[in-house]
Structure 1
Amino acid sequence: MMILHDQILTHGNTAVKFKAMCEELESYLTAVILAVQNLHNPSKGFQKRVKEFVAASNMTDEIAGHQKQIQGICFKLKLLAAVDTNSKVNEMHAIMTAPSFVVTPPSRSINNCPPPSRIFQGRQTILAKMHRFFTPDSGKQLIYVLHGLGGAGKTQIALKFIQDSSANFSDIFLLNASTLDTIITGLKNMAVSKFVGDSAQDALTWLQSKHGNWLLFFDNADDPKINLNKFFPQCNHGNIIITSRNPGLRTYGDHSPVSDMEAKDAITLLLQSAAKESSEENVQVAAAIVKELFHLPLAIVQAGSFILQSEDMAGYLMLYQKNRAQLLSEKPVQSHDHYAWTVYTTWQISFDRLSQLAATLLQLCSFLHYSGISEDMFSNASKYSFPVWLPAKEELQAPLQFLSHFLGPTGEWNSLRFSEVTNEIKSYSLITFDAATKMFSIHPLVHAWSRNTLVDEAASHLCISSLLGMSIAEIPNHDITLASLRLMPHISSVTPFNTVDVEADFRAAFWGIYFSTGKLTEAQNLIEHTCEKYRLVFGEEHLATLVAMRRLGLTYSHLGEYKKAKELEVTVLEKRTKLLGEDHPDTLSAIGDLAWTHSALGDFAKAKELRVTVLEKRATLLGLDHPDTLRAMANLAATHSMLGDFDKAKELEVTVLEKQTKLLGEDHLVTLSAMGNLAWTHSALGDFEKAKELQVTVLEKRTKLLGEDHPDTLLAMGNLARSHSKLRDFEKAKELEVVVLEKRTKLLGEDHPHTLIAMGNLATTCFKLGDLEQAKQLEVTVLEKRRQLWGDRHPSTVGAMQDLAIIYRALDKLTEAAELERLVKQIQMSL
Structure 2
Amino acid sequence: MFRVGVDPEADVAERPTGPTPTAFSRELTSLYEMAGRPTYKQLVDHCAANNVKVTDSSIEEWISGKVVPRSGAAFGIVVQFLLLRAKAKNLSYAPRPPHVWEAWRREAQRQRRARQGRRTPARPARTVAGPPANPPVIAGEIPGQPPAFVHRTALWESGQEVLDRTGMVAYVGARGTGKTQLAAAHARHAAGDGRSVVWITASSRDEIVAGFCRLAGRLGVGADERDDDAVAELALSRLRQPGWYGLIVLDNADDPFEVSGWIPTTGDVTVIVTTTNRSFADMTEIVTVDGLTDDEAASYLETRTRIGLPGAHAIAAELGNLALALAQAAAVIPLRGYSADDYITQLRSTRLENLFAKTVGYPHTLTQAIVLSLNAVREVERGSELIEALAWLDPAGVSRRLITRLESDLLPGSAHVSLTSELVKNSLLLWSETYAYGSVHRVVSRVIREDAIRRDEIYGSLYWTVEALRGATRIESAPSAWLTELIEQSSWVFKHALDVHESLTGDQVHWLLEVGDSMTQFSWTMGLLAPNFRCCQALSELAAARLPSDSPLRHRAHSRYVLALHGRGRIDAAFELGERLSGEIAAGSTLALEHQALMIRVHLSRGDATGAVAVGRRALQAAEAASRTDDLPLNQIRNNLGLALHELGLYEEERTLYTRALEESRAKLHPDHPLLLHLENNLANLLGELGLWRESVEAHSRVLESRRRTMGDLHPDTVRSLGNLASAATKMGDYEQGRRLDEEAAAAAEAIHGKEHPETLIARANLASAYAKVGLVEKALLMDEEILETRRRILGPDHPAVLVSMNNLAQRYRAAGRPDDGLTLLREVLRIREASIGEKHPDTMLSRSNLAHALVESGNTADAIDLERKSLEQRREVLGENHPDTILSMNNLANYYFAADAVSEARELLERAVEGMEALSLQRHPMFLTMNANLLGVLVLAGDKPAALTVFERLAVSADELDRIGATTEQRTFAELAKRAVADPDFLDTLMRGGPAT
TM-score category, normalised to shorter length: 0.3 to 0.5
Task: Give the structure with higher Rg (CA).
Answer: 1
